[in-house]
Amino acid sequence: MVFGKIEYLNLLPFHVFMKRFTSSSQQSMSMDYKKGVPSNINKKFLSRKVDAAFISSIRAKKHRHVNLGIIAKKEVRSVLVIPHADYVIDTDSATSNILARILGLKGEVIIGDKALRYYLQNRPHVDLGAEWNRRYNLPFVFALLCYHRDKKLYEKIEKNFLKQRVKIPQYLLKQASTRTNITTKDILEYLKYISYDLDTKAKLGLKKFYNKVNF
């Protein structure tokens, strides 16, 4: 299996889970990773260079997916608009750029770990997850776990991932902290705002977003 790996902190628990899942005696399997930012992984998935990945919601609608996503119930802290007169996209992103336009927010869109670092500096920003929730009282789904084949495998991954609380080993937290220049304490606090369960309310939020972009 070739998996598109986005090395943002919001997927750290999932990557820890997958390492254990693929190495267990019951689920022994070969796993290759193609790394990249969301916009790059979208392209690799669409060209079938990867078998599965968390795909930006704006690109995921027509593809098979399980009930796993990257979801903000309210604020998200890592998808922001820095207010100013011009509209500047983040080339790493797909969904967030469109979300900012839907919400009518001018400024610079920033996503991922660099956005979280900016947030932690208490500098002026609009949190896109929080703003979406304020207007529609719904979660926002930033990405979905999509796949090209092996439906039963990904359903099993969904079931096993959602039923357990993934504990991130300290050495991996320290590695992530060194890579992102964000403290382990701030990483753990940030992860409290990320949900992965595409439940009924999250599906309503996703439907609302698709309606707004006229799918």
Average pLDDT of the chain, as a whole number: 93
pLDDT confidence band for 140 (50 / 70 / 90): very high
The dihedral formed by the CA atoms of 30, 40, 52 and 162, expressed in degrees to the nearest 10: 100
pLDDT confidence band for 25 (50 / 70 / 90): very low
pLDDT recorded at residue 164 = 87
User: For the structural domain made of 2-198, what CATH number should be given?
Assistant: 3.40.190
Identify the bridge partners of residue 54 per DSSP, sorted by sequence position: 145
- Angle between the N-to-C axes of helices 12-23 and 151-163, in degrees from 0 to 180, rounded to the nearest 10: 120
Coil, strand or helix: which one is 38?
Answer: helix
Give Cα 23 distance to the centre of its chain.
24
pLDDT confidence band for 29 (50 / 70 / 90): low
Q: What is the mean pLDDT of residues 35-62?
A: 94
pLDDT recorded at residue 196 = 98
Taking CA atoms, 164 is separated from 8, 20, 196, in Å, by: 21, 12, 12
pLDDT confidence band for 16 (50 / 70 / 90): very high
Q: Whole-prediction pTM value?
A: 0.93
Per-residue pLDDT tens digits for 68-99: 999 999 999 999 999 987 888 899 998 999 99
pLDDT confidence band for 5 (50 / 70 / 90): very high
Q: What is the mean pLDDT of residues 189-208?
A: 98
pLDDT confidence band for 27 (50 / 70 / 90): low
